[in-house]
Amino acid sequence: MSMSDEALRGEVEAWLAAHWKGVPAHSESFGRDPRSEWLAKVRDAGWAVPRWSSEWQGRGLSNDQAKIVERAFAKVGAPGAGQDRSNLWANTALAHATDSFKREIVPQLLAGEVGMCLLYSEPGAGSDLAAVRTRADKVDGGWRVTGQKVWTSGARVADYGMLIARTDWDVPKHRGISFFFLPMKQQGVEVRPLRQITDEAHFNEVFIDNAFIPEENLLGPLNGGWGVLQTALAYERSVMGDGARGPRSGADEPKGDTALLALAREAGRLDDAVVRQDVAQVIAWRVLNKLNTARAKAELAQGTSSPIMSLGKLAMSRILHEEARVRTMLLGPESLLEGPDHPRAEDANFLSLNAYFTSIGGGTDQIQRNIIGERVLSLPKEPEIDRTIPFREVRAG
């Protein structure tokens, strides 16, 4: 039955008053979520995915009414609502997995009960994901997979990896790819960490040697994985367009748009007209990007992709680089320092280096420009001489 906005607002606020007591902080976006007990309650109440039907733990609400739910959760700082717009894993599974696999995996994904990672890029297939050479060969009950993936965040703690692999070598490259949920905790899957410039090791390379994927873990049609991948990439870019990691020193600092203002005031530079202009520019870009991302999410129907997501993802990349530049400029020579005794400089240097994560992850800035040019601005496509020939005949260096 339909419900008035006021009745819905009253129900969700009463539910939060009765159940919300706070949860542990969550810094790792790929491992099992320490907030899973709370997230399971949100899921079971239908608040996690209010736009979905009741068959899939939702409430069948309109987009406008779902926003009422999200605002009520945001007002008290409670996580878990609005995953029908933000949960990369669950949205991809709901759109493309078999009913039996969806009933098993989607509830777990909504509650953060399984860790996930992305198995897309390879040493010879980064910007051009259609060039993947990891192979999946059909066997009784499923597939056997062999190949190598790289730049995989969270692989060490993941239970599943969303994998693209080649299942037909005799058709053009985009038409011979399939999309799977690969069980990570099995013999034949080796994970090796990669040390980053920030002195962290979130990325990994993954070596897959004859690992097994059950038949029901295929998403979408066999050899139709390119279309599934576009759905997954749209949700990934949506998340990256929303925001990125902030400072890591742990020092007290205002959040969001006021952080740069506070730093300029702390440095005694807020009266400098150039500084004020630079700070205002970053804040304006952030506000504009929030509006653009909200528009893109509103247009994104479940199971589809949207090139507008590339605008937000590219914009966030530029915002992070510019904000890091302004922080460094405000600190001056102090920005050469690092360590716990110099938290402002530590944060500025980390943000400068970590900005490149957003420039690369989810498709490089250059790839986003291509997508925007071709699919938003309707400019001519770049030449692609290997697009129509059987992949077996494609030259590889």
So where are the chain's domains? Answer: 16-86, 116-225, 243-376
Q: In sequence order, what DSSP letters do the residues of 339-364 get, joined into one string?
A: STT-HHHHHHHHHHHHHHHHHHTTS-
The tens digit of pLDDT for each residue in 143-197 reads: 999 999 998 989 999 999 999 999 999 999 999 999 999 999 999 999 999 987 8
pLDDT(378) > 80: yes
Angstrom distance (rounded) from CA 389 to CA 325: 45
The tens digit of pLDDT for each residue in 304-332 reads: 567 777 888 888 889 999 999 999 999 99
Question: By percentage, how much of the chain surpasses pLDDT 70?
Answer: 91
| Stretch 65-94: mean pLDDT | 94
Angstrom distance (rounded) from CA 354 to CA 248: 11
Output the pLDDT for position 291.
Answer: 85
The tens digit of pLDDT for each residue in 345-377 reads: 988 898 898 888 888 877 788 988 998 898 889
The architecture in CATH of the region 243-376 reads Up-down Bundle (1.20)
pLDDT(292) > 90: no
The tens digit of pLDDT for each residue in 110-143 reads: 999 999 999 999 998 887 899 999 999 999 999 9
Output the pLDDT for position 137.
Answer: 98
The residue ranking higher by pLDDT, 157 or 291, is 157
The tens digit of pLDDT for each residue in 4-26 reads: 999 999 999 999 999 999 887 66
The CATH class of 116-225 is mainly beta
Output the pLDDT for position 123.
Answer: 93
Angstrom distance (rounded) from CA 138 to CA 198: 41
Would the CATH topology of 116-225 be identical to that of 243-376?
no
Residue found by looking up tokens 């320092």 in the block: 337
Output the pLDDT for position 294.
Answer: 76
pLDDT(215) > 80: yes
Residue found by looking up tokens 């990891």 in the block: 134
Helix (H, G, I), strand (E, B) or coil at 318: helix
* DSSP element (H, E) containing 146: strand 142-149
Helix (H, G, I), strand (E, B) or coil at 89: helix
The residue ranking higher by pLDDT, 109 or 291, is 109
pLDDT(394) > 80: yes
Residue pair 6/68 in contact (Cβ under 8 Å)? The answer is no
Question: By percentage, how much of the chain surpasses pLDDT 90?
Answer: 58
Closest by Cα among 151, 86, 149 to 364? 151
Angstrom distance (rounded) from CA 66 to CA 9: 10
Q: How far is CA 112 from the centre of its chain?
A: 14
pLDDT(68) > 90: yes
The tens digit of pLDDT for each residue in 234-260 reads: 888 777 666 655 666 556 666 666 788
Q: In sequence order, what DSSP letters do the residues of 212-253 get, joined into one string?
A: EEEGGGEESSTTBHHHHHHHHHHHHHHHHHH------S----
Output the pLDDT for position 256.
Answer: 61
Output the pLDDT for position 33.
Answer: 87
Average pLDDT, whole number, for the chain?
89
The pLDDT confidence band at residue 387, using thresholds 50, 70 and 90, is: confident
Q: Is 381 exposed, middle or buried (0-12, 13-18, 19+ CB in 10 A)?
A: exposed
Output the pLDDT for position 1.
Answer: 56
What is the number of other CB atoms lying within 10 angstroms of the CB of residue 304?
A: 12
Output the pLDDT for position 321.
Answer: 93
Output the pLDDT for position 85.
Answer: 87
pTM, two decimal places: 0.83
pLDDT(27) > 60: no
| Stretch 268-291: mean pLDDT | 90
pLDDT(28) > 60: no
What is the rounded end-to-end Cα distance, in angstroms, of the chain? Answer: 60
Angstrom distance (rounded) from CA 129 to CA 164: 9
